[in-house]
Amino acid sequence: MTTPAPRIHILPEAVAGRIAAGEVVENPASVVKELVENALDAGATAISVEVRDGGLSLIRVNDNGTGISRAEAPLALARFATSKIHSIEDLTAIRTLGFRGEALPSIAAVSHVEVLTRAQDEIEGTRLRAEGDRISVEPAASPVGCSVTVRDLFYNAPARRKFMKSPLRERERIHETLIRYALIYPNVAFRFVADGRELLAAPPASPLERLGALLGRDVAGEMLPIHWEALDLRVSGFISRPTLGRASRAEQFYAVNGRPIRGGLLVVALERPYAGRLPPGRYPLASVHIEIAPHLMDVNVHPRKAEVRFLQERSVYWALSQAVEAALSPYPRQGQALVDFAWPFAEAAAPAALHEPATPYQAGALRPIGQMHFSYILAQSAEGLVVVDQHAAHEQVLFERLLRQAQPQPLTPPARLTLTPREADALMENLEAFLGLGMEVEPFGGNTFLLRSLPDALAGRDPQALITALLSELDRYRNVGLDELREKLAMKAACTAAVKAGEPLMPDQMAALLRDLGEAWSPATCPHGRPAFITLTLEELERRFLRR
């Protein structure tokens, strides 16, 4: 009788390294992002990026930062080697952009890398070459700073290389990445050359001058400064006047402590004050910078550090809305609001409380009275009677949870999805957007896919119906950026999964929905702009009953 081969085993280091590299190196733009962050952390005041074939053949990033000493050069390609953190306590006070010690070794795992560098106190530079497991270190002439050359990206990972976009699209991704950093760091000179053609030349400038250089002088002339500050939180930047709008959110940029991030619910906070000032279907332009004490946020919630989690979310969103509202105050709203937006819940935690971490947000008391026509929840508040549209309210709750990047919940076993050829093609092109919502989908041959996880906000939903509904939206959003597509998919997922009008609810279900709505940052409307509730105040009821 033969012993069965073991099914669980430790992966060889080379294989594990390539898998880990996938968390950092997703495409050429992610390589540029990591190298630019290293340059900024090194104090560079000039950064130059050169690429060929959309970065697949060549990426070269030069900087005039502090450089790497000869003695430390070999450590630059070792996993978890970093100069930016020394203890676990440092993780709660991160000020640098890169800190994991993963960038260079992950890049070297899927490409040929050469580093030419010289530290300021050295006379001679160092050349470091990495090809597979072979690393060589030798003396070389070099200016102070660092030059990293990456060739043949994904040469040893054909499956990943197959899913790269066209060289033109990959070049555009790199260009968009550099624009984000150039807006955040106007004091740093940026240059971008693609296939011998200079696409970006931005010398050091003031924030508004840099914005004009990148987005156009006509745009800069239509921008308004924003500012809000209290203790550990500061909001600054520029927003567009209501006279200027775009058909998409491609020109909205957000940064936290010098780190570009996806907009998420910051988009809601930015756009809420524009209601009644900007025509429907038009979006403001913005460059928003948030500075917050490091211990009040977590930058380690996303493999590529594209998102952060705030300890006091509502305080941050409230501060941004206040800054935008103040800047737009000379521009009156047009028309009247659809409903009375009297807030039936407790106000957001005061920004003054930001210096007291895990201060919990307490929602105001809403006591359910009953359900009307199986569609509306009647609730009593301190102000009077609140009528809640159960579908709109639940839709907003799910939408916010999806955008907050809730942890994916594994499906055991994975759900098997059978799609049409057109649906399969659409899904293959947008796997990243689905993954950004906590839906891990992988091909399983032909038009069949495996759904390995769903976000906790969508737990228990029919996977086939959910994915099919999301795929039906993709044709409408072919030309939008990844962040906007993710938001549109979150809206559709929330609408599909939310409780429907005409659906009976038990008292405990109504109470739970009211509690969740009270904890939402923007409970007044659903993601599509419909009111989630209306309030009939005691004063109004007393007038109607002739008590006043």
- Give me the amino acid identity at 110: V
Instruction: Residue 80: name the closest of 109, 108, 102, 104 by CA.
Output: 102
Q: pLDDT above 90 covers what percent of the chain?
A: 51
Q: What is the pLDDT of residue 405?
A: 63
Residues with Cβ within 8 Å of 116's Cβ and at least 6 positions away in sequence, in order, are: 125, 126, 127, 128, 140, 142, 146, 147, 149
Segment (H or E) for 239? strand 233-240
Summary mean pLDDT of the chain: 84
Q: What is the pLDDT of residue 342?
A: 45
Local confidence band at 1 (pLDDT 50, 70, 90 cut-offs): low
Does residue 398 have a pLDDT over 90?
A: yes
Q: What is the pLDDT of residue 282?
A: 87
For 467-478, what is each residue's pLDDT tens digit?
999 998 888 887
Q: What is the pLDDT of residue 527?
A: 87
Local confidence band at 497 (pLDDT 50, 70, 90 cut-offs): very high
Q: How many CB atoms lie within 10 A of CB 478?
A: 10
Local confidence band at 276 (pLDDT 50, 70, 90 cut-offs): confident
Does residue 360 have a pLDDT over 90?
A: no
Q: What is the pLDDT of residue 422?
A: 87
For 216-231, what is each residue's pLDDT tens digit?
888 898 999 999 998 8
Segment (H or E) for 161? helix 158-162
Does residue 31 have a pLDDT over 80?
A: yes
Looking at the whole model, is its pTM more than 0.85?
no
Q: Which domains does the chain have, with CATH numbers?
A: 13-204 (3.30.565.10), 208-328 (3.30.230.10), 363-548 (3.30.1540.20)
For 125-165, what is each residue's pLDDT tens digit?
999 998 777 888 999 999 999 999 999 999 988 888 887 88
CA distance 192 to 261: 21
Local confidence band at 312 (pLDDT 50, 70, 90 cut-offs): confident
Rounded to an integer, what is the distance from CA 263 to the centroid of its chain? 5
Q: What is the pLDDT of residue 356?
A: 40
Strands of the sheet containing 408-418, edge to edge, are 408-418, 448-455, 441-443
Residues with Cβ within 8 Å of 122's Cβ and at least 6 positions away in sequence, in order, are: 67, 69, 70
Local confidence band at 348 (pLDDT 50, 70, 90 cut-offs): very low
Q: What is the pLDDT of residue 466?
A: 94
Least confident range of 202-206, 275-279, 375-379: 275-279
For 40-58, what is each residue's pLDDT tens digit?
999 999 999 999 999 999 9
Rounded to an integer, what is the distance from CA 374 to the centroid of its chain? 37
Q: How many CB atoms lie within 10 A of CB 323?
A: 25
Does residue 353 have a pLDDT over 70?
A: no
The SS3 assignment for 168 reads helix
CA distance 538 to 302: 46
CA 242 → CA 37, 247, 364, 495, distances in Å? 34, 13, 34, 29
Q: What is the pLDDT of residue 306?
A: 59
Instruction: Select the highest-mean-pLDDT range: 307-321, 324-338, 362-376, 449-463.
Output: 449-463
Query: Between 449 and 20, whose confidence is greater?
Result: 449
Local confidence band at 308 (pLDDT 50, 70, 90 cut-offs): confident
